Amino acid sequence: MQIYGQPTGPRGYDLIDSPIFAYWMPVLKIVGDAVQYPFSGGYKVHVSVALEDAERVAEHVLPILQEMKVPHKVVYPLSRYATMNTGDQKGKFITIYVGPLMYSFLALVNRLDPLLVEIQATPGPQAMNRISAHLQPEQRIGLSGLLTYVIVANYRM
């Protein structure tokens, strides 16, 4: 089995604590049934893409995140993304847990955003900030219109 052309299992993607999010396993630890991130909190970036471009974006973005060794998850299967976009979790196709360093955050944005501009993917719905009970949008960054972010004290909240 593959997820958007990427491997599955311990050296690829796996469904752990949710039936709709596939996590990149080589950079995470699993404690019981929960994912443990290398950092407790920090920058959290979302890639929000129109449904019709989502698979193409995943095929381009996931290998870069793997190369950068950045913890992340992606909605799978694609039909679940359509469902998510009708609720509070809209616009959160790929979630990237960058950590607390601004340098790492900017390196990620500077790597992904030009690619997203180049492939001319259509932005998806605006991701809403969970900290504000989904009442305020996340902060947009970059020229592609596909990246938003928040800074959180705890990734598990």
For 75-127, the pLDDT digits (tens) are: 999 999 999 999 888 999 999 999 999 999 999 999 999 999 999 999 999 99
- Domains within the chain, CATH numbers bracketed: 39-152 (3.30.2430.10)
Q: Is the pLDDT of residue 1 over 80?
A: no
Q: pTM for the whole thing? A: 0.95
Q: Which H/E stretch holds residue 15?
A: strand 13-15
Share of the chain above pLDDT 70, in %: 99
Q: What is the pLDDT of residue 99?
A: 96
Please, are residues 38 and 99 in contact by the beta-carbon 8 Å criterion?
yes
Task: Provide the pLDDT for residue 19.
Answer: 86
